[in-house]
Structure 1
Amino acid sequence: MAPKATHLLDELSRPGPHPVLRGDLALVGLPGTVLTPRSGTGLPAVAFGHGWLQPPARYRGLLRHLASWGVVVAAPATQVGPLASHRLLAANLATALDVCAGVRLGDGGITVDPSRLGLAGHAIGGGCAVLAAAEDTRVAAVATLAAAQTRPFASEAARACRMPGLHVVAGRDQVAPPVGNGELIARAWAGPVRLKFLPKASHLGFTEGWHWSTLLLPGKSEHRTRRLTRALLTAFFLVHLTGAKQYEPLLTDEVKGLLNIELPNAPHDARAL
């Protein structure tokens, strides 16, 4: 294990220095949640897409964690039914970024820098984040967790994504197998990209708490998976949305439970995240 990466994993898996405020996106016409640091101007912002049948509340810990590290996070609570529209969820993610970039948050003292926008998501939310990124030139970074294929195909949309991408796949995922959706998206990615492998994670390991969908989907909430994910996404967005290069070793090196998958067919600079 790389000592520096292990140290960064320990640091970034803990809450950051900022107290967190919670708001309601419904106040601006979009059901969902927004979490922000208590104060700050010119902040980065990320819109997060939920998995199939999963309410945004199942990612509350991850969203709050990112906000504690200075990132505004918006999670639309739309398309949560069994017949969710991937196109509409992608559009809702773009709208959430519009809200973050165009509205003063909190008591009016929190602002977002429109050049520091990112997208993330789990399962179909990850696929929809790719769809949204392919159509939105403002997006500066994209991260997916156990990304599922969408209609239209996220793996095709990835060919138009030139921003840095981070794709995390789970070794015990029976819904979005690691040698499948996430890898297809990563291999098609047009910009710098990295594919990370969590060998002991399941599809629902990225979520928290209990939900009735666990009766339909294999896997369950996993503390270790969530801990690794919190640190990894925090490092990724701090590096690519704020320029905090000191966190880069966690993206480039391996630590216990978090492995790199080489992408030999990726663009020439794909490994230089």
Structure 2
Amino acid sequence: MTTAVDPVAAGRVTRPRLPITDVRWSTVVAPLALGALVIVGWELLVNAADIKPFVLPAPSAIWEQITGNTANIVDGSVVTGRNALIGMLGGAVVGVIGAALAGSFRLIDQMAAPVVAALAVIPIVALAPVLYSMFGAAVNTGRIIVAGISVAVPVYLNTLRGIRQVRAVHRDLMTAYAAGPLQVIRAVTLPTATPYVFTGLRVASSLAVIAALIAEYFGGPIGGLGKSITSSAASSNYPLAWAYVSGAIVLGLLFYVVTLLVELWFSRHHKPA
């Protein structure tokens, strides 16, 4: 008697899952303790060596500016974060689709390789002014495109690497069971490539914030952390400039943590059968 075999289940690849509950307190306490020591040492060094604010302001002076300008920092973070988020989502979609096409068609892979290499080395300081000239300095389009390009490259490369990890034996098995293209993608390709996609997104999440922030230095609408940093530095209010830099750091960490939480949630709720 022959037992029916589900080709989807037969070709399914086990995907590594990140632990969620097995988190040691040391992974949280150790970085916080190190950060506290760095801040204390920073404060002592500035006071003992009488370092001028334009060289390195004291953490206490920066904190005073943060507490006194919280609303402005939040407003600037919203502007920069919105541009980074739109660019990140758009760049991720382009990167995943491009990698899927390159992984399916060798000709597209060969044609895309030099394009991706060129995009990876484009300096933001040169690209942002050009985009402002193309789309106008009164809109955020240029900033979003800069963030999108910064995201698309690592997502594309990581996704393509994940697709190439699919073993030929699994593809042959799916072919033997007459599985359709969608079944192959759902049972083999996606489970194998998903961890690599999230790795690319985690790397790109911080890059999106950095790209959007740097693009604000070279024009565009008023608003955003980058504009605030340059304005504060130009008026010689260096502690305020560092306060906006602190806001950018928090924003970048927020993007990274949210991306990591989405990855953990996905790995938990999409367990392979």
Q: What's the TM-score, normalizing by structure 1?
A: 0.27
Identify the structure with bigger relative contact order (alpha carbons < 8 Å, sequence gap 6+): 2
Higher CA-based Rg: 2
* Higher helix proportion: 2
* Higher strand proportion: 1
